Amino acid sequence: MAIGRWLGAAIVVCFLTGLISHVLQHPPGWMTGLLPTRPVWGYRLTQGLHVASGLAAIVLVMAKLWTVYPRLFEWPPFRSLAHLVERLTIALLVAATVFELFTGLINILQWYPWPFSFTQAHFAVGWIVAGSLLLHLAVKAPLIRAHWRKKTSDVDAADRRALLAGVGAAVGVVTLTTAGQSFTPLRAFTLLAPRSPDLATQGVPVNRTAAAARVSHASADGWALEVTGPRPYRITLAELNALPQRRVRLPIACVEGWSVNAWWSGVPIGDLLERAGAPPGSALRVTSLEAWGYYRVMEMPAQYAADPQTLLALRLNDEVLSLDHGYPARIIAPNRPGVLQTKWVSRLEVR
């Protein structure tokens, strides 16, 4: 059935883009040196696709389940051991897929009504969805093969095409009304997306506010950046502003699926490292002023630290960073997930 084909494609895209997101955010040690800094919009694209294909899959999985619903009541429940195994793999596939799509949908609203860690459970169950899908294809291979060889001349063909058109329209309206949160040309149709960049301060939405991170103007007062390395130093905001500035256009893309392009200006990280006497190819550890948070300390692989577009940004869209956007200084680097674009930077350590 064509719905199954579309659903399969959506799940494959969702799984692969999910893996990319996981590797960029929590790279295993041996991969840190391999992560690419180009294209600068790479993560913006893959994470936008991840959320869009997930939303499309919600519609497709419902349609698929409804077309096979009568089979749930097959009698006898299983005819042979093979048939029992087949039905159990389907149960696993359905349970894991619905779990994955539901937790993903709830997460983009920053709503966590469950006892487990979303990131870890969503990552683990993604593998189970992909595995049980392959297993399902293996079990159904003869049926699928027969379907492809069949001439489509049966009486139901017109009705089936009409159903497909209906499901296609449903995927279309859901995508049209939500994808604008990452895909700028659809911005005008963003009626149902959790984020609307046009309504955000300085043109960029916020994932974690200063209040949530317990950072205030008071804690940023008298701030000086501490840089450790062969020649450690401290530098004030006024001194940073007096250094040669660079202005770059880079997207910020959140794991929750929204993304937006912006102008960032500040001091290239490479300049700050050079001043500390860091040898070429040094990696960086960045610490934030925030009181707590999974990403308070961020590791930046050498290729990002050396990239001329990676900045300690002081300005966003030509205005001084607002406190929610990371005042007095934040990181912006190409092709990295938003949670690694550390805000309220207090310390750079050459590693």
Partner 1 sequence: MRIILGVAGVALIAVGLFFLLPLPGLWGVAAGFAGAVALHDAIVGPLVLLTGLLVARLPDRAVVRGALISMGALVLVTLPVLLRPGPPPNPTLLTLPYGRNLLICLGVVAVVAVALVLVRRRR
Nearer to partner 1, 78 or 127 (CB): 127
CB of 218 to partner 1, least distance (A): 20
Stretch that binds partner 1, among 203-211, 231-239, 261-269, 271-279 (CB under 8 A): 203-211
CB of 245 to partner 1, least distance (A): 27
Which of positions 137-156 make contact with partner 1 (CB under 8 A)?
Answer: 137-139, 141
CB of 235 to partner 1, least distance (A): 30
**CB 262, CB 242: distance < 8 Å:** no
Instruction: Please list, in sequence order, all residues whose beta carbon lies within 8 angstroms of the beta carbon of residue 81, skipping any fewer than 6 positions away.
Output: none
Does 96 interact with partner 1 (rule: CB under 8 A)?
A: yes
Which of positions 97-136 make contact with partner 1 (CB under 8 A)?
Answer: 98-99, 102-103, 105-106, 109-111, 114-117, 120-121, 123-136
Nearer to partner 1, 20 or 55 (CB): 55
Nearer to partner 1, 235 or 343 (CB): 343
Strand partners, 311: 268, 332
Rg of the chain over Cα atoms, rounded to whole angstroms, equals 24
Which of positions 211-240 make contact with partner 1 (CB under 8 A)?
Answer: 212
The pairing of strands 330-332 and 319-320 is unpaired
d(CA 99, CA 342): 31
Stretch that binds partner 1, among 4-12, 25-33, 205-213, 332-340 (CB under 8 A): 205-213
Residue of the chain from 18, 48, 194, 268 that contacts partner 1 (CB under 8 A): 194
Which of positions 60-89 make contact with partner 1 (CB under 8 A)?
Answer: 62-63, 65-66, 69, 72
Nearer to partner 1, 30 or 69 (CB): 69
Backbone phi and psi for residue 250, each to the nearest 5 degrees, phi listed first: -135, 145
Nearer to partner 1, 170 or 237 (CB): 170
Query: What order do you get walking across the sheet with 224-228 strand by strand?
Result: 233-236, 224-228, 345-350, 284-288, 297-300
Which of positions 31-60 make contact with partner 1 (CB under 8 A)?
Answer: 55, 58-59
CA 288 to chain centre: 22
Nearer to partner 1, 110 or 317 (CB): 110
Give the SS3 label for residue 208: coil
Residue of the chain from 23, 95, 224, 276 that contacts partner 1 (CB under 8 A): 95
Nearer to partner 1, 143 or 218 (CB): 143
Backbone phi and psi for residue 239, each to the nearest 5 degrees, phi listed first: -65, -40
Binding mask 153-192 for partner 1 (x = CB under 8 A): ------x--xx-xxx-xxx-xx--xx-----------xxx
Residue type (1 letter), 309: Q
Instruction: Please list, in sequence order, all residues whose beta carbon lies within 8 angstroms of the beta carbon of residue 37, skipping any fewer than 6 positions away.
Output: 303, 304, 307, 309, 310, 333, 334, 335
Which of positions 282-321 make contact with partner 1 (CB under 8 A)?
Answer: none
Closest to 183 measured CA to CA, from 59, 21, 57, 46: 46
Stretch that binds partner 1, among 92-100, 240-248, 310-318, 329-337 (CB under 8 A): 92-100
Question: 229-246: string of b/e by CB count within 10 Å (b at 16+)?
Answer: beeeeebebeebeebeeb
For residue 39, whether the previous peptide bond is cis, meaning omega lies within 30 degrees of 0, is yes
Q: Which two tokens stand for residue 251?
A: 């997207």
Nearer to partner 1, 120 or 236 (CB): 120
d(CA 266, CA 245): 5
CB of 116 to partner 1, least distance (A): 3
CB of 273 to partner 1, least distance (A): 32
CA 149 to chain centre: 39
Nearer to partner 1, 42 or 205 (CB): 205
